[in-house]
């Protein structure tokens, strides 16, 4: 027992040393020298701690793993069964005890994020398990809370507009405030690392995996927004993660299901893809996530960036000067599994320059493969400890060695407060983009356009939604004094659904159609055309990518909301109703459907009332 207490004392001293340096506690002349001395002292203490760890503990620190269940020790039976099937353990606590993992990632589908109090209790249970190990170590607890279409923690937490919506708003202060609020609420429930912001520059409208997760198509504008979000998360006291290096914005393949190739030249990469990552590094980003993409101009061997030493060490570490934590994207994605087997991926990733190995499909295979590589000398223990040092430095910076625990009182004081929710609504109002408004139909008058029909796509709901988009919009219009009826026609409306919508439109004053990634062959085009033919004014609202308007027949008015989360749909309703002015400007160009070389609406385009 005395042995464990002495280690905790060492960790507390380490944390205090780093905290003093990080907060500028040394302010007299010679402060820089004192800060350097403090950093050296921290490094020395952490190296002492690492020297006391077993090889198995060292290997474990590099892994960030999923685990099923709402509790670290008493998950539901179905989650126990899932853990046994996929990981060979029953609970999060058993996972930490067996594999000594350095981090846990939360997912909605893993039942980790039911409600704020439950998440806080799960986080505390995970931290207790980490501190109960042979070497007491807190854990990095992470999630993908990008907001917009990628959210793991839903209401009553505050849900912010997503990246492209913020890009449309064009306000760095809004982006920073969104990051601060999001980070503050995550910290309150025990999540200390967010895999955001997305630093990809979305220059390909056909990109199936990034799209509205990006701030836009202008590298400098994206860089400014990324830096602002990093600063916001820093104020909140959690680690942010810029992703997906070296840039996932120009691909038509989803790295979850395939291996994308990006054919930018080295010069194009420097001009288009690198500025947001450079800005993130300059802003003090805590972590950078790799992409499972091939960029032949950056690595002629055509290895995925996650496994590419020329990209991660040659460019990220040496050229860009980044010495923070590098984390892989999920190792369960097909993009990183295509070329090499699962047992080689963690070894090659570490050799490439990675520090954290995220969510391997089979932890036992990956963990033992890395352990064997160190024992055989393929990976030196010094290289292993280099990554552990970066990870522990981050844990110290976040104050996890001082106190990794959270309280219900802290949750209630911070999560989903009235002030935070009001801020989210204000920010969202700055993002809705008005693209067309023939005959000045908008804003809708309650006197002449009181009876509304809301139809359209109802895609699977992210955590930022309370119901189908049609229902959410109709409810929002109802609260604004309109009589609104909702009818879901789906992302691929059938002739029967189209006929039902046409019949429902008769007698209405206007129809609002929520469109979702309309293609040249989409029956959503047929739906809009049929509704226009009724003579009732038709307003379309793109609820994901803003490119839909290029594919649609002429109609009265068109807007872009960039997501179908409640906060963005409510803001769009207020804009349509004239309760807020449309302030958003396109952060990406919209090309003509029949000639993609011609721009229909350029970056920066947007109408006002």
Last residue of a domain, one of 35, 52, 69: 52
Q: Write out pLDDT tens, residues 80-118.
A: 999 999 999 999 999 999 999 999 999 999 999 999 999
| Count of structural domains within the chain | 3
Prediction pTM value? 0.92
Q: Are residues 253 and 312 in the same domain?
A: yes
Last residue of a domain, one of 414, 444, 464: 414
Q: Are strands 595-601 and 590-592 parallel, antiparallel or unpaired?
A: antiparallel
Confidence of residue 12 (pLDDT cuts 50, 70, 90): very low
The pLDDT of residue 28 is: 40
Q: Are residues 182 and 293 in the same domain?
A: yes
Q: Are residues 530 and 583 in the same domain?
A: yes
Percent of all residues in the chain with a pLDDT value above 70, rounded to a whole number? 93
Supply the CATH number for residue 520's domain.
3.40.50.1700
Checking if the pLDDT of 487 tops 80, the result is: yes
Nearest to 557 by CA among 576, 579, 534: 576
Checking if the pLDDT of 184 tops 70, the result is: yes
Mean pLDDT of 497-520: 97
Helix, strand, coil % (nearest 5) of the chain?
A: 45, 15, 40
Checking if the pLDDT of 279 tops 70, the result is: yes
Confidence of residue 37 (pLDDT cuts 50, 70, 90): low
Mean pLDDT of 433-447: 95
Whether residue 339 lies inside any domain: the answer is: yes
- The residues near 522 (Cβ < 8 Å, ≥ 6 apart) are 491, 492, 551
Whether residue 125 lies inside any domain: the answer is: no
Supply the CATH number for residue 381's domain.
3.20.20.300
Q: Write out pLDDT tens, residues 218-249.
A: 999 999 999 999 999 999 999 999 999 999 99
Q: Are residues 440 and 390 in the same domain?
A: no
Answer for the pair 105, 358: CB distance below 8 angstroms, yes or no.
yes
Q: Are residues 159 and 308 in the same domain?
A: yes
Whether residue 233 lies inside any domain: the answer is: yes
How distant, in Å, are the alpha carbons of 312, 390, 515 from that of 327? 11, 11, 35
Whether residue 104 lies inside any domain: the answer is: no
* Owning domain of residue 322: 140-414
Answer for the pair 230, 176: CB distance below 8 angstroms, yes or no.
no
The pLDDT of residue 269 is: 97
The pLDDT of residue 25 is: 34
Confidence of residue 138 (pLDDT cuts 50, 70, 90): very high
The pLDDT of residue 22 is: 34
The pLDDT of residue 325 is: 98
Q: To the nearest 10°, report the CA torsion of 537, 445, 587, 157.
A: -110
Q: Are residues 219 and 303 in the same domain?
A: yes
The pLDDT of residue 464 is: 67
Last residue of a domain, one of 414, 441, 461: 414
81 is catalytic: no
Answer for the pair 130, 554: CB distance below 8 angstroms, yes or no.
no
Percent of all residues in the chain with a pLDDT value above 90, rounded to a whole number? 86
How many Å apart are CA 572 and CA 56, to the nearest integer?
53
Checking if the pLDDT of 17 tops 50, the result is: no
Q: Are residues 407 and 462 in the same domain?
A: no
The pLDDT of residue 26 is: 33
Q: Are residues 221 and 365 in the same domain?
A: yes
Q: Are residues 152 and 288 in the same domain?
A: yes
Q: Write out pLDDT tens, residues 345-388.
A: 999 999 999 999 999 999 999 999 999 999 999 999 999 999 99
User: Which residue spans within 301-440 are E strands per DSSP?
Assistant: 325-327, 357-358, 433-437
Whether residue 240 lies inside any domain: the answer is: yes
Mean pLDDT of the chain: 93
Q: Are residues 305 and 185 in the same domain?
A: yes
Q: Are residues 304 and 359 in the same domain?
A: yes
Point out the catalytic residue in the list 329, 458, 548, 566: 329
Point out the catalytic residue in the list 115, 254, 256, 581: 256
Q: Are residues 337 and 436 in the same domain?
A: no
Tell me which residue has tokens 């420097």.
270
Confidence of residue 595 (pLDDT cuts 50, 70, 90): confident
Checking if the pLDDT of 164 tops 80, the result is: yes
The pLDDT of residue 458 is: 86
Q: Write out pLDDT tens, residues 301-346.
A: 999 999 999 999 999 999 999 999 999 999 999 888 988 989 999 9
The pLDDT of residue 497 is: 97
The pLDDT of residue 11 is: 47
Whether residue 90 lies inside any domain: the answer is: no
420 is catalytic: no
């Amino acid at each position: 027992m005395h042995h464990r207490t002495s280690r905790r004392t060492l960790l507390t001293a380490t944390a205090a040393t780093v905290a003093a340096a990080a907060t500028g506690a040394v302010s007299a002349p010679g402060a820089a020298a004192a800060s350097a001395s403090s950093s050296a002292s921290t490094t020395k203490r952490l190296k002492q701690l690492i020297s006391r760890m077993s090889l198995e503990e060292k290997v474990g620190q590099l892994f960030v793993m999923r685990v099923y269940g709402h509790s670290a020790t008493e998950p539901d039976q179905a989650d126990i069964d899932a853990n046994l099937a996929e990981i060979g353990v029953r609970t999060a606590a058993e996972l930490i005890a067996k594999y000594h993992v350095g981090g846990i990632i939360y997912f909605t589908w893993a039942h980790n994020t039911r409600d704020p109090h439950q998440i806080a209790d799960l986080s505390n249970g995970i931290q207790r398990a980490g501190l109960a190990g042979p070497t007491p170590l807190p854990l990095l607890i992470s999630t993908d809370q990008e907001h917009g279409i990628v959210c793991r923690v839903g209401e009553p937490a505050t849900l912010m507009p997503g990246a492209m919506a913020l890009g449309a708003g064009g306000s760095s202060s809004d982006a920073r405030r969104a990051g601060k609020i999001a980070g503050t609420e995550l910290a309150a429930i025990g999540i200390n690392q967010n895999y955001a912001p997305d630093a990809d520059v979305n220059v390909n409208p056909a990109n199936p995996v990034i799209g509205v997760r990006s701030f836009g198509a202008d590298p400098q504008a994206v860089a400014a927004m990324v830096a602002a979000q990093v600063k916001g998360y820093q104020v909140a006291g959690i680690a942010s993660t810029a992703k997906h290096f070296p840039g996932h914005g120009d691909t038509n393949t989803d790295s979850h299901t395939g291996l994308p190739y990006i054919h930018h030249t080295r010069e194009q990469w420097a001009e288009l893809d690198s500025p947001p990552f450079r800005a993130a590094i300059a802003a003090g980003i805590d972590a950078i996530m790799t992409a499972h993409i091939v960029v032949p101009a950056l690595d002629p061997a055509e290895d995925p960036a996650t496994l590419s030493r020329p990209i991660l060490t040659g460019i990220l570490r040496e050229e860009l000067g980044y010495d923070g934590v590098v984390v892989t994207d999920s190792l369960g994605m097909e993009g990183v599994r295509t070329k090499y087997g699962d047992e080689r991926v963690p070894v090659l990733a570490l050799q490439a320059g990675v520090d954290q190995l995220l969510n391997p499909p089979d932890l036992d295979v990956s963990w033992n493969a890395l352990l064997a590589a160190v024992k055989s000398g393929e990976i030196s223990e010094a290289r292993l400890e280099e990554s552990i040092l970066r990870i522990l430095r981050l844990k110290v910076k976040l104050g996890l060695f001082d106190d990794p625990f959270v309280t219900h009182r802290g949750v209630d004081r911070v999560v989903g407060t009235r002030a935070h929710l009001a801020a989210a609504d204000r920010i969202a109002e700055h993002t809705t983009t008005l693209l067309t408004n023939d005959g000045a139909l908008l804003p809708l008058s309650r006197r002449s356009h009181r009876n509304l029909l809301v139809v359209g796509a109802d895609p699977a709901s992210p955590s930022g939604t309370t119901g189908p988009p049609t229902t959410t919009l109709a409810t929002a219009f109802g609260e604004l004094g309109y009589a609104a009826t909702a009818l879901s026609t789906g992302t691929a409306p059938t002739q029967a659904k189209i006929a039902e919508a046409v019949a429902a439109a008769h007698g209405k004053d206007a129809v609002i159609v929520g469109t979702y990634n309309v293609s040249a062959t989409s029956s959503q085009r047929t739906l809009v055309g049929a509704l226009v033919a009724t003579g009732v004014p038709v307003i379309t609202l793109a609820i994901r990518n803003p490119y839909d308007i290029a594919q649609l027949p002429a109609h009265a008015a068109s807007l872009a909301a960039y997501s179908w989360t409640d906060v963005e749909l409510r803001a769009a309703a207020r804009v349509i109703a004239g309760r807020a002015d449309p302030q958003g400007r396109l952060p990406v160009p919209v090309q003509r459907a029949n000639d993609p070389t011609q721009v229909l609406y350029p970056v920066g385009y947007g109408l006002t009332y």
